[in-house]
A and B are shown apart, each in its own frame.
Chain A
Amino acid sequence: MDALLHQVLAGLATGGIYASLALALVMIYQATHLVNFAQGEMAMFTTYIAWSLIEAGMPYWAAFILTVLTAFMLGVLIERLIIRPVGQAPVLAVVVVFIALLLILNSVTGWIYTYTIKTFPSPFPAQPLFGNRYLSSHELGAIGITLVVLLLLYAFFRFTPLGLAMRAAAQNPESSRLVGIRVGWMLALGWGLAAAIGSIGGMMVAPIVYLDPNMMSGVLLYAFAAALVGGIDNPMGAVIGGFLVGVLENVLGAFVIGNELKLSVALVIIIGVLLVRPSGFFGRVQVSRV
């Protein structure tokens, strides 16, 4: 029983990693109706920026805030300079550009920072809460931060006019322009926010898995799965999806099918869920006019 509990809690910790990247994926989807394959690498790259700042002597929270702002600007820049020119191209062409971004970011980071792993500091105390052996304070803190970001995001989209404008711009660019929404800037804003969320995720993840250029490569599939299984247009669904995927992965790997088939089981679960609920558990069912 103890082993099961332990695996579940460890699963929640890894699930937090998936959830934070899934949130960024949902963010970008809500803004642009595209899935950004380079999200993980952007998060990783911005985390390296934070690392450089901290190495240079900046205190943690100052570096944190500066990194989030830098990530935001980076996201806006990428949208304006790289994504905007291919706006008219078929969807798959844009996907190829995302893939190219992934390759470029991964390669350039490895070149600048080398592949030796680096420790990334955590703002949370080193002692585990109540001295428990299951979850470190950082892992708990990271889950907490992910939930806070989720709440902020939810509030932003639901209750602010800007959030509404962004959703409108993604759903129906033509009508949005007619009511005066600057669609182009909405897209850029979406990218900026997604990059910022990604950077927070990266800075939460790095203390657990250590910082290296391939930190996020394995996470992408699970984050993607979490986002879709939870409902690609629902931030809360993405977070719940992330935790679900983390726990399932651990429990199945430890007790049911062994680690050698974990990925294949992930595949089967994804297909299974999507067959039963094609829009994900919490997604809004898409109804399209014929």
Chain B
Amino acid sequence: MKALLVGVMTAALAVPAMAQKKYDAGADDKEIKIGNTNPYSGPASAYGQIGKAIAAYFKMVNDQGGVNGRKINFVSYDDSYSPPKTVEMARKLVEQDQVLFLFQTLGTPSNTAIQKYMNTMKVPQLYVATGATKWNDPKNFHWTMGWQPNYQTEGRIYAKHILATKPNAKIGILYQNDDYGKDYLKGMEDGLGDKAKTMIVSKVSYEVSDPTVDSQIVQLQASGADTFFNITTPKFAAQAIRKAYDIGWKPVHYLNNVSISVGSVLTPAGLDKSVGLITAAYLKEPTDARWASDKGLEPFREFMKKYLPDANIADNFNIYGYTVGATLVQALKQCGNELTHENIMRQSANLKNLRLDTLLPGIVITTAPTDYAPIEAVQLQRFNGKQWELFGDVMTSQ
């Protein structure tokens, strides 16, 4: 009898103290189902590379054993950058495919369209792929969180730099006529404060459907500006850099972070024509000579060779997808066996000084229940004809 009692007690103690297993729809012992929308067709299809990079990253994670023993099932649909389509696909993912949460849905209008829905359904809309400022609003939208440094912050940082180094500058701005362009513009105007009206001598826009921005560059030169804030996407950035050089306009040239790739923007524009460009960055740039022998980037280079062999490593979107994927994996690891909507949000808002090798040194990821902006710091860098040279300290918008 005593032996039986001891046996039973031993058996009871031997049962490992397992963490509580709690699942919401989309998670179980074997997999975590994640939903995403990206523009794989239409005029914004260049951004679809982010979706492909993320899918490849999760494949690598799965090959290495998954997260806490679970494989990631990444379901991504095409929304052609059209908000009504995004709404439809988001509903499909949440209601029909029963994903655990949405991750890196792309585009400001697309995310605006589904924000209310996601928060009503209480399903996380995590690490959205847009730099708009509105995603850092935990009080009103508990379930929506951004990831990259937002555009207005970057604009303000450039404004601060101008005020500090060239307080009498005459600023000309070229911006894309959409939410991305206007957000950067607002950041710069806010950063300049009262002096915005006097310092900004020319604001010129362009549409994505325009063949070239040559006319706009000519306009900016004619306005007498000696400082240029270049808010353009890669193709137009290359055109702008080259045209400015060709017409003999040599302003102090601030280039927005979206177009800093040496391989896919500066080289087509002409490396000699890009000398002196200033930008703010948070990711390492794989085609930049300064990281050519960086040990930290080796896993990324291996990843590109093995999982995205046809992609262009010069395309920023690949390292972006890799880094945001790594951020999510960390949050998921912290969730352990409690894969519920609430815990996903809690852990995503609980990243403390997360350091990833693909981020520039000095830049970390931090979130808190009142801080839904994971990356808030950037570092200014200047192009010297061969590579980007970091200067100054890591800056935030404060």
Chain A residues engaging chain B, CB cutoff 8 angstroms:
2-3, 6-7, 10-11, 13-14, 17, 107, 110, 114-119, 128, 133-134, 136, 205, 208-210, 212-215, 217-219, 222, 249-250, 253-254, 259-260, 262-263
Contacts and interface: CB of A to CB of B under 8 A. Distances in A.
B238 interface: yes
B246 A128 contact: yes
Q: What interface size band does chain B fall in?
A: 35 or more
Given A217-B209, A259-B204, A253 B49 contact: no
Contacts of A262: 207
A116 B215 contact: no
Contacts of B177: 259-260
A87 B278 CA distance: 57
B211 A17 contact: yes
A248 to B, nearest CB: 11
Contacts of B238: 117, 210
Contacts, number: 96
Contact of B207 (A114, A222, A250, A263): A263
Nearest to B206: A259
B368 to A, nearest CB: 36
B203 to A, nearest CB: 9
A133 B245 CA distance: 10
A253 B219 CA distance: 9
A128 B247 CA distance: 10
Contact of A10 (B41, B45, B49, B214): B214
B312 interface: yes
B235 interface: yes
Contacts of A214: 43, 46
Contacts of A259: 177, 204-206, 216
Contact of A114 (B49, B235, B246): B49
B239 A11 contact: no
Given A218-B209, A260-B205, 18 more contacts: A3-B218, A6-B218, A13-B214, A14-B211, A114-B311, A114-B312, A115-B45, A119-B267, A133-B247, A134-B247, A136-B246, A209-B239, A212-B235, A217-B43, A219-B211, A254-B215, A260-B177, A262-B207
A178 to B, nearest CB: 45
Interface string B86-115: 000000000000000000000000000000
Closest 5 CB pairs of A and B: A115-B46, A218-B209, A3-B222, A250-B215, A119-B268
Contacts of A3: 218-219, 222
B315 interface: yes
Nearest to B314: A116
A260 to B, nearest CB: 6
B248 interface: yes
B194 interface: no
B49 A133 contact: no
Given A117-B238, A210-B268, A14 B205 contact: no
A218 B312 contact: no
Given A3-B222, A263-B207, A14 B310 contact: no
Contact of B239 (A110, A210, A218, A222): A210
A205 B214 CA distance: 13
B325 interface: no
Contacts of A119: 267-268
Contacts of A128: 246
